[in-house]
A and B are shown apart, each in its own frame.
Chain A
């Protein structure tokens, strides 16, 4: 399967711990997006990369969140000092940013529960 993959699929952690999630995009896609989604809501944009450059980060994102895409391929999202409010589904999407119909394809998500 050559779709977007994310690991782990589920993560349970205690408040105050750090967590890191990984996303492997579709291989030829140069853009990679991170979203957060809570029950009954649409995805909330966190950040996105074009190749290895982080081009935009949501103003809603606290300094506890950081993302990297060091070689322009896979990406990691780290949350430091987790809080219960961080519990959500974290979605990664990738796209081939070539113009009009730039469609984002999503991975299966990482479901985070902070106790």
Chain B
């Protein structure tokens, strides 16, 4: 079967750094996506990795290791508005997105 694992919830402090991990087991791999979803809203695209390594985009970075079936999303200089759920999704051999259940990130002042 296909499986995406992420922690259910994480808490961090404003101004700090947090790393959200994602491990996956899918039938094929054609890229990994991270989305942010605020409560009651639709997911918004954050990052895409298809090759091993780190992709940096402002305060957010995403890392991929295909051999380990592992990715993380790194958020720096946390702001209160970063409180949201972060969804990891893998595109499988059929080019369909397989989604994790999301990690709820709580930012405390």
CB <8 Å contact, B33 and A103: yes
A104 to B40, CA, bound (A): 18
A100 lies within 8 A of chain B by Cβ: yes
Chain B hits for A106, CB < 8 A:
42-44
A112 to chain B, nearest CB (A): 14
A102 to B100, CA, bound (A): 18
Interface SS of chain B: helix, strand, loop or mixed?
loop
A77 to chain B, nearest CB (A): 15
Chain A hits for B95, CB < 8 A:
102
Partner of A108, one of B41, B91, B94, B96: B41
B97 lies within 8 A of chain A by Cβ: yes
Asked, given contacts A43-B43, A91-B42, A106-B44, whether A101 binds B31 with beta carbons under 8 Å apart, the answer is yes
B50 lies within 8 A of chain A by Cβ: yes
Asked, given contacts A91-B42, A101-B48, A108-B41, whether A41 binds B102 with beta carbons under 8 Å apart, the answer is yes
CB <8 Å contact, A107 and B42: yes
Interface centre among A42, A100, A101 (most CB of B within 10 A): A42
CB <8 Å contact, A104 and B102: no
A38 to chain B, nearest CB (A): 10
CB <8 Å contact, B102 and A42: yes
State which size class the interface on B falls in. Answer: 20 to 34
A-contacting residues, B2-30, CB 8 Å: 4, 8, 30
Tally inter-chain residue pairs, CB-CB below 8 A: 48
A-contacting residues, B28-70, CB 8 Å: 30-31, 33, 40-45, 48, 50
Chain B hits for A42, CB < 8 A:
4, 87, 89, 99-102
Chain B hits for A40, CB < 8 A:
8, 101-102
A-B contact pairs, 25 of them (CB 8 A): A40-B8, A40-B102, A41-B101, A42-B4, A42-B89, A42-B99, A42-B102, A43-B99, A45-B96, A48-B96, A56-B94, A91-B43, A100-B30, A100-B31, A101-B31, A101-B48, A101-B50, A102-B91, A103-B45, A104-B33, A104-B97, A106-B42, A106-B44, A107-B42, A109-B42
Please give the residue numbers on chain A whose beta carbons come within 8 Å of chain B beta carbons, in ascending order.
Answer: 40-45, 48, 56, 91, 100-109, 111
